[in-house]
Structure 1
């Protein structure tokens, strides 16, 4: 934790975002440990998360994190951020010494800000159990690496501010998800690989 976080101006993230994703948006730096984390606010009202780093260890760490997000796509039991692929279809980008990836941002209350009630603890345990089962089906690159900026060894999870139990919160972020095709068709195509003509039905089971 002695390393300084990579927080500089917004010019470099804006350049990377435009070059690798074709997106122009407002960039808001967020708190992070070592790597740089920015909230991306598109003109259509979407909120995304861009993670970048120029540290050598970030390449394997980001490959793992983006690989986990890609592996969780379509897994109905877990609500997780969705990976947005680059213009060439890659899970992450490399630009000189800098690498990074882009994901959606989940709405909700961070666990550390919520009242630690027995119901919350129970629901969190259920969600983590579902996440554990889902991760068993993933084979991300560098599965044994530590995430960039963490100090304890072992399996690390992708940045996810909150994981809701879908059985308890069936509507999670249905409104922004369902409006995405019309609000941002370019990002919709990156997420789904399809034209924004149909909106996937979300079940509550």
Structure 2
């Protein structure tokens, strides 16, 4: 296995907390006055439980010790900022403790939070459609706009999932067992180094969600084109704004129409939160870089933590297929489609 040179972020290089259901229930009862049945939820870095009881439904979250309290509190602040800026956005609400705090720090250092529960079907389990992609892009644009003006010192934390750090993935590529996928990833990172990295400082930066994958989106089961919820703000970070769009677009590639799906997703976002010329120019390479990020980090972590491999590798197949689809595209054709889909006054 490749030696670990770049920082993946301490929480990516450590196991999640392991509290018992009884311990989680006692914490919810003592600090939030909440009673009910608890069901464990999957998570990459933290330990989460769905609590259902007389007081409603909630998510009890115990943070990975390696991440630090500042990052968790930054997420709380962002959720409260969103609630104030766009109350209709379907995102979790921070539930205060009995004494009015947003979190509880245990004697061993673990930080515990409670968020509201959102109803819906996970996007990865729902029927897909172009209309759904457009709705998702517009919802993301609203979320990005709702986060305007929010900042926090912890938003600058290092997280390798953040696409701006894609160049650091080179040392992880040897852990990709699939030779074809490894070659595609090498090519993409070369383009990133030439076309994107030197221009990062010229882009618009802000705090963004940064992880709108199909497991973090809920849709209405009766109307799957309607986005019912956006979950998991655990990868929130300050980065070029267009990275947020690229993350979401990487999971919406139609392999039968990769250019059309890329351009259509960008166009729906652009209609709500217009892109700049530079953002439009780097969008394609950032989408590809996100796929490389998924493939390389998942490969490294799955080998290191085989007991959690099914969860870690859940997005690997779609990322590999998407990367193969866009690798065959002519970048000039993509650029032309994006200029048409996202007109910008130059």
Alignment TM-score, normalising by the size of structure 2: 0.42
Superimposed CA distance per residue, residues 8-38 of structure 1 (whole angstroms, 9 cap, x where no aligned partner):
4212211211221122221111111121011
In structure 2, C-alpha distance between the alignment counterparts of 1:142 and 1:115, rounded to whole Å: 37
* 2:67 aligned with 1:66: no
CA contact (8 A) 2:17 2:46 kept: yes
TM-aligned CA distance change 1:95 to 1:29, over 3 Å: same
- The answer to which of 117-126 and 105-114 deviates more is 105-114
Alignment partner, residue 169 of structure 2: none
Q: Which of 1 and 2 has greater Rg?
A: 2
| Aligned residue in 2 for 1:106 | 118
TM-score, structure 1 normalization: 0.68
2:143 alignment counterpart = 131
Residues 62-112 of structure 1, C-alpha deviations (whole Å, 9 max, x = no match): 112211111122423522111111122122221221102111111112222
Residue of 34, 37, 47 corresponding to 2:57: 47
For residues 2 and 140 of structure 1, do their structure 2 counterparts lie closer, same or farther at Cα, with a shift above 3 Å needed? closer
Residues 86, 141 of structure 1: alpha-carbon distance in 2 compared, 3 angstrom cutoff: farther
Task: Name the counterpart of 2:100.
Answer: 89
Pick 1 or 2: higher relative contact order, CA cutoff 8 A, min separation 6.
Answer: 1
Query: Cα distance, 1:54 vs. partner?
Result: 5.3
- Which ranges in structure 1 are unaligned for 5 or more consecutive residues? 174-205
* Alpha-carbon distance between aligned partners in 2 of 1:114 and 1:151, rounded to the nearest angstrom: 29
Query: Residue 29 of structure 2 aligns with which residue?
Result: 18
Question: Bigger shift: 156-165 or 73-82?
Answer: 156-165
Q: Helix, strand or coil for the counterpart of 1:143?
A: helix
Q: Matched residue of 1:47: which SS? A: strand
Structure 2 residues not aligned, in runs of 5+: 1-11, 165-206, 230-346
Q: Which runs of 4+ in 1 moved over 4 A?
A: none
Correspondent of 1:143 among 136, 141, 155: 155
Q: Which residue of 1 aligns with 2:209?
A: 157
The 8 Å contact of residues 37 and 52 in structure 2, kept in 1 or not, is answered as yes
Q: What's the C-alpha RMSD, in Å, of the aligned pairs? A: 3.0
Say which SS state the counterpart of residue 71 (structure 1) adopts.
helix
